[in-house]
Structure 1
Amino acid sequence: MHGMHSVVDWLSFAVWEDGLLIRSLSLSPDGGIRENIGKPYDFELPYWAGEHPVEPVPGWPNQAPYPLPFHPLALGEQALRALFGFVVEGHPESDDIDAEAVHLHGFRVTDPSGEEQAAREAAYAQARRAMSSPRRFRLGPDGAMHEVSLESS
């Protein structure tokens, strides 16, 4: 299993062998290390050893040190390569799989009776009725969020 979320710099991966969890890691700069089970793989070791520190962004004042010894998404790309043979945003190597060339089968699950879809639509309609009107906010010059009309956005 592998998951990354670039908005929050979150990485999680896990490996099972014969139904046993061998390695699991889940971390983000805001949440810290949420799970760290099993012995780190060889591809992780340089990251844990501090060989891939997060450098401060030039021109940004008052930057605190990055709360982890490496950027989770950088390790995430190495995990993709080591576990699955390809990268998504990293620099591909000559022996990486071309992920865009892999054909996948798609399946659609249907509800022949239509009852499940009708129940979902009724639940959505009820939720929409219970919701208030949408509101929109914009960051003001004072750094605070201010409500703006929907027409002005």
Structure 2
Amino acid sequence: MGAKDWFICYADGDVSKLLARQPEIDRAATEELVRRLFPNHSVVPEEDGTLAEDANPQDDMVYAAVWPGVTIVCTAAVALDRPSQLDTRFLAEARGRTLYLHAMHSVVDWFALGVWSPDGQLRRALSISGGDEEIIENAGEPLPFEQPFWAGEFPAVEDEDEDEDYPFPFHPLELAEAGLDNLFGFVFEGYTGMSDDDDSVDPFDVPLAGFRLAPPKPGRRLFGRR
């Protein structure tokens, strides 16, 4: 697997259903959002991107979109080893909506997930790295799509390779793709088959507005894990 991403999503309902409608971006609201989230930067509009190609922007770029009922912001600022430590400015923006954080990086077999309920309470925080053989964070009850993985139904190593060793009963990136499928209705690589919803979304069909950020002020760090 070669996929990597770092994004947050604010949602008023089922994300896959909302995205499947292919709504138009509210460009004014999107730019205002990015300026609110990065008040210490100069924000310069750039060319549009897509969710498939720009879910893992460089430190000085943000790709985002505000639609009716759902908002996505792709930024390295949320590529955190510990999702529970998401900056308060991102939490405050939820404003009564469900907040999701999803990040993964194939080089280190790393996956991180955060879910906050509309009342602002952290519901789930998971960060797991196969490369480091470490569960970095594991707070809250596993979400329904996670449970078969923890139960060993999707082993990282097939039976015929049982002499090979892997630190977890599943591959973190496969769990990451299952999370995309179940929470948002799209995947970047392959098909997990975990979702029963027909509202699948092609991330190439999801446009995002691009923005360039001026360098942060001295002492401020824009990103987490890269």
Bin for the TM-score computed over the shorter chain: 0.5 to 0.7
Say whether the 8 Å CA contact 1:56–1:65 is kept in structure 2: no
| SS of the residue 1:78 aligns to | helix
Q: Who is 2:126 aligned against?
A: 25
Structure 1 residue runs without a partner (length 5+):
111-115, 121-153
* 1:3 is the counterpart of 2:103: yes
What amino acid is aligned across from residue 27 of structure 1 in structure 2? I
Q: Who is 1:66 aligned against?
A: 166
Q: Who is 2:147 aligned against?
A: 45
CA distance in 1, matches of 2:192, 2:106: 19
Residues 118-146 of structure 1: CA deviation (Å, up to 9, x unaligned): x99xxxxxxxxxxxxxxxxxxxxxxxxxx
What is the CA-CA distance between 1:96 and the residue it aligns to? Answer: 1.4
Say whether the 8 Å CA contact 1:9–1:72 is kept in structure 2: yes
Structure with more of its chain in strand, by fraction: 2
CA distance in 2, matches of 1:43, 1:92: 10
Structure 2 residue runs without a partner (length 5+):
1-100, 219-226
Return the match for 2:200 from 80, 96, 109.
96
User: Percent identity of the aligned residues?
Assistant: 50
Distance 1:50 1:109, change over 3 A: closer
What is the CA-CA distance between 1:54 and the residue it aligns to? Answer: 1.5
Say whether the 8 Å CA contact 2:178–2:192 is kept in structure 1: no
What is the CA-CA distance between 1:92 and the residue it aligns to? Answer: 7.3
Residues 26-84 of structure 1: CA deviation (Å, up to 9, x unaligned): 011224111111111110011000111122698x9xx6421101000000000111122
Q: Considering only CA atoms, is the larger Rg found in Structure 1 or Structure 2?
A: 1
Q: Who is 1:137 aligned against?
A: none
Q: Which has the higher contact order (CA 8 A, sep 6+)?
A: 2
**TM-score, scaled to structure 2:** 0.44
| SS of the residue 1:7 aligns to | helix
Say whether the 8 Å CA contact 1:48–1:70 is kept in structure 2: yes
Say whether the 8 Å CA contact 1:52–1:69 is kept in structure 2: yes
CA distance in 2, matches of 1:34, 1:26: 5
| SS of the residue 1:43 aligns to | coil
Say whether the 8 Å CA contact 1:32–1:68 is kept in structure 2: no
| SS of the residue 1:33 aligns to | strand
What amino acid is aligned across from residue 145 of structure 2 in structure 1? F
What is the CA-CA distance between 1:108 and the residue it aligns to? Answer: 3.4
Distance 1:101 1:92, change over 3 A: farther
CA distance in 1, matches of 2:106, 2:154: 18
CA distance in 1, matches of 2:141, 2:169: 18
What is the CA-CA distance between 1:107 and the residue it aligns to? Answer: 2.4
CA distance in 2, matches of 1:105, 1:66: 39
What amino acid is aligned across from residue 204 of structure 2 in structure 1? E
**TM-score, scaled to structure 1:** 0.63
